[in-house]
Amino acid sequence: MRKMISVIASAVLVSGLIAASTGQSKPDSARQEQQPTEDSVIVTDSEIVRGRVVEDTVIGHWTVKATKGSNEVVVGRDDWAVRDSSVFLTLSYDNEEVYSGKEIRTKDVVGNEGEYMMQWGGEIFWVSDSALYLSFGCFLPDSDDGWNMLYQILPDGASNLSVLEYEMGVDGNSYIADFMALYFNERAVGASAADLKRLYEHFCTKELAEELSALTLPIVLDDIDFRHADRTLQINNLDDLNGLPLEKYSFEVKFKPDSKDDNVTDILYMEVDGATNKISKIEAGGRKVI
Protein backbone atom coordinates (compact mmCIF):
# COMPACT_ATOMS: atom_id res chain seq x y z
CA MET A 1 0.00 0.00 0.00
CA ARG A 2 1.02 3.60 -0.45
CA LYS A 3 1.69 5.78 2.58
CA MET A 4 0.50 9.39 2.54
CA ILE A 5 2.12 12.04 4.71
CA SER A 6 -0.97 14.25 5.04
CA VAL A 7 -4.55 13.21 4.44
CA ILE A 8 -7.99 14.80 4.59
CA ALA A 9 -10.73 12.44 3.49
CA SER A 10 -13.45 13.59 1.11
CA ALA A 11 -16.68 11.80 2.01
CA VAL A 12 -19.67 11.06 -0.21
CA LEU A 13 -22.62 11.60 2.12
CA VAL A 14 -25.17 8.85 2.60
CA SER A 15 -27.91 11.35 1.76
CA GLY A 16 -26.15 12.04 -1.50
CA LEU A 17 -26.05 8.33 -2.27
CA ILE A 18 -29.76 7.98 -1.65
CA ALA A 19 -30.43 10.98 -3.88
CA ALA A 20 -28.07 9.59 -6.53
CA SER A 21 -29.98 6.31 -6.59
CA THR A 22 -33.03 8.30 -7.69
CA GLY A 23 -31.08 10.20 -10.33
CA GLN A 24 -30.38 13.31 -8.25
CA SER A 25 -26.98 14.52 -7.17
CA LYS A 26 -25.80 16.49 -4.17
CA PRO A 27 -22.36 18.06 -3.68
CA ASP A 28 -19.66 16.37 -1.61
CA SER A 29 -19.00 17.40 1.95
CA ALA A 30 -15.32 17.52 2.91
CA ARG A 31 -14.47 15.42 5.94
CA GLN A 32 -13.14 17.53 8.76
CA GLU A 33 -9.75 16.70 10.28
CA GLN A 34 -10.26 13.59 12.37
CA GLN A 35 -9.96 13.67 16.14
CA PRO A 36 -9.51 10.60 18.36
CA THR A 37 -12.75 8.63 18.33
CA GLU A 38 -15.19 9.19 21.13
CA ASP A 39 -15.02 5.54 22.17
CA SER A 40 -11.23 5.45 22.46
CA VAL A 41 -10.25 4.76 26.07
CA ILE A 42 -7.13 5.29 28.14
CA VAL A 43 -5.24 2.02 28.58
CA THR A 44 -5.86 2.03 32.36
CA ASP A 45 -9.56 1.57 31.64
CA SER A 46 -10.26 -2.18 31.72
CA GLU A 47 -13.60 -1.94 29.95
CA ILE A 48 -13.68 -2.37 26.15
CA VAL A 49 -16.51 -0.26 24.77
CA ARG A 50 -18.40 -1.48 21.73
CA GLY A 51 -21.65 -0.61 20.03
CA ARG A 52 -21.56 2.91 18.60
CA VAL A 53 -23.73 2.74 15.47
CA VAL A 54 -22.16 4.51 12.50
CA GLU A 55 -24.51 3.18 9.83
CA ASP A 56 -27.83 1.33 10.00
CA THR A 57 -29.59 1.82 6.72
CA VAL A 58 -30.92 0.36 3.47
CA ILE A 59 -29.56 1.69 0.18
CA GLY A 60 -30.54 -0.03 -3.05
CA HIS A 61 -29.87 -3.76 -2.78
CA TRP A 62 -27.80 -3.35 0.38
CA THR A 63 -28.77 -3.41 4.05
CA VAL A 64 -25.91 -2.18 6.23
CA LYS A 65 -25.33 -2.05 9.97
CA ALA A 66 -21.87 -1.20 11.28
CA THR A 67 -20.86 -0.61 14.88
CA LYS A 68 -17.48 0.75 15.88
CA GLY A 69 -15.78 0.40 19.23
CA SER A 70 -12.39 0.06 20.92
CA ASN A 71 -10.60 -3.28 21.10
CA GLU A 72 -7.71 -4.71 23.15
CA VAL A 73 -4.85 -3.29 21.04
CA VAL A 74 -2.93 -0.38 22.61
CA VAL A 75 -1.68 2.38 20.30
CA GLY A 76 0.40 5.41 21.28
CA ARG A 77 3.41 6.52 23.30
CA ASP A 78 4.58 5.84 26.82
CA ASP A 79 3.00 9.07 28.06
CA TRP A 80 -0.15 8.93 25.94
CA ALA A 81 -1.96 5.87 24.67
CA VAL A 82 -5.42 4.77 23.59
CA ARG A 83 -7.05 1.55 22.55
CA ASP A 84 -7.45 0.90 18.85
CA SER A 85 -10.88 0.34 17.30
CA SER A 86 -12.67 -2.31 15.27
CA VAL A 87 -15.71 -2.13 13.00
CA PHE A 88 -18.33 -4.87 13.31
CA LEU A 89 -20.26 -5.23 10.08
CA THR A 90 -23.57 -6.93 9.38
CA LEU A 91 -24.46 -6.77 5.71
CA SER A 92 -26.98 -8.26 3.32
CA TYR A 93 -27.68 -7.99 -0.40
CA ASP A 94 -31.28 -8.47 -1.53
CA ASN A 95 -31.98 -9.91 1.92
CA GLU A 96 -29.25 -12.54 1.48
CA GLU A 97 -26.65 -12.42 4.24
CA VAL A 98 -23.17 -11.31 3.19
CA TYR A 99 -21.59 -10.73 6.63
CA SER A 100 -22.90 -11.21 10.15
CA GLY A 101 -20.92 -9.36 12.78
CA LYS A 102 -17.71 -9.45 10.71
CA GLU A 103 -14.88 -7.70 12.59
CA ILE A 104 -12.65 -5.41 10.54
CA ARG A 105 -9.52 -4.35 12.41
CA THR A 106 -6.64 -2.00 11.64
CA LYS A 107 -4.48 -4.97 10.61
CA ASP A 108 -7.10 -5.87 7.98
CA VAL A 109 -6.62 -2.55 6.20
CA VAL A 110 -2.98 -1.58 6.89
CA GLY A 111 -1.44 -5.00 7.52
CA ASN A 112 -0.44 -4.69 11.19
CA GLU A 113 -1.66 -3.45 14.57
CA GLY A 114 -0.19 -1.37 17.36
CA GLU A 115 1.24 1.45 15.25
CA TYR A 116 -1.67 3.02 13.37
CA MET A 117 -5.03 3.76 14.98
CA MET A 118 -8.38 3.42 13.21
CA GLN A 119 -9.69 6.97 13.54
CA TRP A 120 -12.74 6.32 11.41
CA GLY A 121 -14.19 3.28 9.72
CA GLY A 122 -17.36 1.73 8.37
CA GLU A 123 -18.98 4.86 6.91
CA ILE A 124 -20.73 4.30 3.58
CA PHE A 125 -18.79 6.08 0.83
CA TRP A 126 -20.49 4.82 -2.35
CA VAL A 127 -23.04 2.21 -3.35
CA SER A 128 -23.80 0.52 -6.66
CA ASP A 129 -25.59 -2.63 -7.77
CA SER A 130 -22.18 -4.30 -8.03
CA ALA A 131 -20.45 -3.23 -4.83
CA LEU A 132 -20.56 -1.38 -1.52
CA TYR A 133 -17.71 0.96 -0.54
CA LEU A 134 -16.86 1.75 3.08
CA SER A 135 -14.42 4.45 4.16
CA PHE A 136 -11.54 3.74 6.56
CA GLY A 137 -8.86 6.05 7.95
CA CYS A 138 -5.91 4.79 10.00
CA PHE A 139 -3.38 7.29 11.42
CA LEU A 140 -0.48 7.49 13.81
CA PRO A 141 -1.91 8.75 17.12
CA ASP A 142 -1.90 12.52 17.54
CA SER A 143 -0.80 13.12 13.94
CA ASP A 144 -2.10 13.38 10.37
CA ASP A 145 0.34 10.73 9.13
CA GLY A 146 -1.69 7.85 7.81
CA TRP A 147 -3.87 6.15 5.27
CA ASN A 148 -7.28 6.89 3.77
CA MET A 149 -8.90 3.86 2.16
CA LEU A 150 -11.96 2.46 0.45
CA TYR A 151 -13.04 -1.06 1.37
CA GLN A 152 -15.00 -2.53 -1.54
CA ILE A 153 -17.38 -5.40 -0.76
CA LEU A 154 -19.10 -7.54 -3.39
CA PRO A 155 -22.43 -9.39 -3.01
CA ASP A 156 -20.58 -12.71 -2.58
CA GLY A 157 -18.55 -11.33 0.33
CA ALA A 158 -15.31 -10.84 -1.60
CA SER A 159 -13.50 -7.60 -0.73
CA ASN A 160 -10.86 -5.31 -2.19
CA LEU A 161 -8.90 -2.45 -0.62
CA SER A 162 -8.13 0.80 -2.41
CA VAL A 163 -5.77 3.47 -1.00
CA LEU A 164 -6.89 6.97 -2.01
CA GLU A 165 -4.25 9.19 -3.59
CA TYR A 166 -4.94 12.43 -1.70
CA GLU A 167 -2.60 15.41 -1.46
CA MET A 168 -3.41 17.94 1.24
CA GLY A 169 -3.74 21.56 0.18
CA VAL A 170 -4.25 20.92 -3.55
CA ASP A 171 -7.74 22.01 -4.60
CA GLY A 172 -9.47 19.55 -6.90
CA ASN A 173 -7.14 16.65 -6.11
CA SER A 174 -9.54 14.73 -3.87
CA TYR A 175 -12.35 14.78 -6.46
CA ILE A 176 -10.12 13.14 -9.06
CA ALA A 177 -8.77 10.65 -6.50
CA ASP A 178 -12.29 9.66 -5.42
CA PHE A 179 -13.55 9.43 -8.99
CA MET A 180 -10.65 7.38 -10.36
CA ALA A 181 -10.66 4.94 -7.42
CA LEU A 182 -14.38 4.32 -7.79
CA TYR A 183 -14.17 4.18 -11.60
CA PHE A 184 -11.37 1.57 -11.62
CA ASN A 185 -13.05 -0.53 -8.94
CA GLU A 186 -16.46 -0.36 -10.61
CA ARG A 187 -14.95 -1.35 -13.97
CA ALA A 188 -13.09 -4.21 -12.27
CA VAL A 189 -16.38 -5.78 -11.18
CA GLY A 190 -18.22 -5.13 -14.45
CA ALA A 191 -20.50 -2.33 -13.23
CA SER A 192 -23.56 -1.63 -15.32
CA ALA A 193 -23.88 1.35 -17.65
CA ALA A 194 -26.47 2.78 -15.25
CA ASP A 195 -24.08 2.60 -12.29
CA LEU A 196 -21.27 4.21 -14.30
CA LYS A 197 -23.68 6.93 -15.45
CA ARG A 198 -24.52 7.70 -11.81
CA LEU A 199 -20.82 7.93 -11.04
CA TYR A 200 -20.22 10.33 -13.94
CA GLU A 201 -23.16 12.52 -12.96
CA HIS A 202 -21.97 12.79 -9.36
CA PHE A 203 -18.37 13.74 -10.06
CA CYS A 204 -18.44 15.40 -13.50
CA THR A 205 -20.05 18.43 -15.09
CA LYS A 206 -23.28 17.79 -16.97
CA GLU A 207 -21.61 18.08 -20.37
CA LEU A 208 -18.75 15.72 -19.51
CA ALA A 209 -21.08 13.20 -17.84
CA GLU A 210 -23.20 13.08 -21.00
CA GLU A 211 -20.13 12.46 -23.17
CA LEU A 212 -18.88 9.70 -20.89
CA SER A 213 -22.30 8.03 -20.68
CA ALA A 214 -22.67 8.14 -24.47
CA LEU A 215 -19.27 6.41 -24.82
CA THR A 216 -18.10 9.18 -27.14
CA LEU A 217 -15.23 9.95 -24.76
CA PRO A 218 -13.52 6.80 -23.42
CA ILE A 219 -11.55 7.26 -20.21
CA VAL A 220 -9.30 4.22 -20.61
CA LEU A 221 -8.84 1.30 -22.96
CA ASP A 222 -11.07 -1.67 -22.14
CA ASP A 223 -8.24 -4.20 -22.01
CA ILE A 224 -6.40 -2.78 -18.99
CA ASP A 225 -6.01 -4.44 -15.60
CA PHE A 226 -8.30 -2.17 -13.56
CA ARG A 227 -7.09 -3.41 -10.16
CA HIS A 228 -3.45 -2.79 -11.08
CA ALA A 229 -4.33 0.61 -12.52
CA ASP A 230 -5.94 1.56 -9.20
CA ARG A 231 -2.96 0.36 -7.15
CA THR A 232 -0.51 2.34 -9.30
CA LEU A 233 -2.53 5.56 -9.65
CA GLN A 234 -0.56 8.83 -9.39
CA ILE A 235 -2.09 12.32 -9.52
CA ASN A 236 0.21 15.23 -10.29
CA ASN A 237 -0.89 18.84 -9.96
CA LEU A 238 -0.01 20.99 -13.00
CA ASP A 239 -0.87 24.41 -11.53
CA ASP A 240 1.31 27.00 -9.89
CA LEU A 241 0.36 26.51 -6.23
CA ASN A 242 0.16 30.15 -5.16
CA GLY A 243 -2.81 29.68 -2.84
CA LEU A 244 -5.22 31.70 -4.99
CA PRO A 245 -8.55 30.23 -6.15
CA LEU A 246 -8.42 29.20 -9.80
CA GLU A 247 -11.12 28.96 -12.44
CA LYS A 248 -9.93 25.43 -13.14
CA TYR A 249 -7.39 23.04 -11.64
CA SER A 250 -5.28 20.89 -13.95
CA PHE A 251 -3.83 17.44 -13.26
CA GLU A 252 -1.79 14.75 -14.91
CA VAL A 253 -3.10 11.31 -13.95
CA LYS A 254 -0.82 8.29 -14.45
CA PHE A 255 -1.37 4.57 -13.92
CA LYS A 256 0.06 1.22 -14.98
CA PRO A 257 -2.44 -0.63 -17.21
CA ASP A 258 -0.67 -4.00 -17.34
CA SER A 259 0.18 -5.96 -14.19
CA LYS A 260 2.72 -8.00 -16.17
CA ASP A 261 4.62 -4.99 -17.53
CA ASP A 262 5.18 -2.01 -15.23
CA ASN A 263 7.22 -0.28 -17.91
CA VAL A 264 3.96 0.75 -19.56
CA THR A 265 2.23 3.90 -18.28
CA ASP A 266 -1.08 5.41 -19.38
CA ILE A 267 -1.64 9.15 -18.97
CA LEU A 268 -4.78 11.26 -18.64
CA TYR A 269 -5.07 15.03 -18.39
CA MET A 270 -7.97 16.14 -16.20
CA GLU A 271 -9.43 19.44 -15.05
CA VAL A 272 -11.65 20.30 -12.10
CA ASP A 273 -13.99 23.29 -12.25
CA GLY A 274 -13.04 25.65 -9.44
CA ALA A 275 -16.60 26.88 -8.86
CA THR A 276 -18.47 23.56 -8.79
CA ASN A 277 -15.72 21.10 -7.79
CA LYS A 278 -16.81 18.93 -10.71
CA ILE A 279 -14.46 17.27 -13.16
CA SER A 280 -14.86 19.26 -16.37
CA LYS A 281 -12.32 17.69 -18.72
CA ILE A 282 -10.73 14.28 -19.34
CA GLU A 283 -8.25 14.01 -22.17
CA ALA A 284 -6.12 11.02 -23.09
CA GLY A 285 -2.39 11.71 -22.95
CA GLY A 286 -1.37 8.46 -24.58
CA ARG A 287 0.60 5.40 -23.53
CA LYS A 288 4.30 5.53 -22.77
CA VAL A 289 6.86 2.76 -22.41
CA ILE A 290 9.76 3.54 -20.10
Q: For the chain, what is the mean pLDDT?
A: 83
Q: Is the pLDDT of residue 153 over 70?
A: yes
DSSP letters spanning 9-44:
-EE--HHHHHHHHTT-----EEPPPP---TT--BTT
Homologous superfamily (CATH) for 1-164: Protein of unknown function DUF4738 (2.40.128.510)
Band (168; pLDDT cuts 50, 70, 90)? confident
pLDDT at residue 105, as a whole number:
97
pLDDT at residue 18, as a whole number:
39
Q: Is the pLDDT of residue 43 over 60?
A: no
Q: Is the pLDDT of residue 25 over 80?
A: no
**Average pLDDT of the segment spanning 251-275:** 96
pLDDT at residue 57, as a whole number:
87
Rounded to whole angstroms, the Cα distance separating 61 from 57 reads 11
pLDDT at residue 50, as a whole number:
47
Structural contact between residues 175 and 203, judged by C-beta atoms closer than 8 angstroms: yes
Phi first, then psi, for residue 239 (nearest 5°) are -95, 160
Residue spans of beta strands (DSSP E) within the chain: 10-11, 29-30, 52-59, 62-76, 81-93, 96-104, 117-127, 132-139, 146-153, 159-163, 234-237, 248-255, 264-273, 279-289
Q: Is the pLDDT of residue 268 over 60?
A: yes
Domain ranges of the chain: 1-164, 192-290
Q: Is the pLDDT of residue 113 over 70?
A: yes
Rounded to whole angstroms, the Cα distance separating 206 from 213 reads 10
Lowest mean pLDDT among 12-21, 107-116, 218-227: 12-21
pLDDT at residue 202, as a whole number:
97
pLDDT digits (tens, 9 = 90+) for 226-244: 999 999 999 999 987 666 7
DSSP alpha helices (H): ranges in 63-205?
106-110, 173-188, 193-203
pLDDT at residue 36, as a whole number:
40
**Average pLDDT of the segment spanning 43-55:** 49
- Percentage of residues in the chain having pLDDT higher than 70: 80
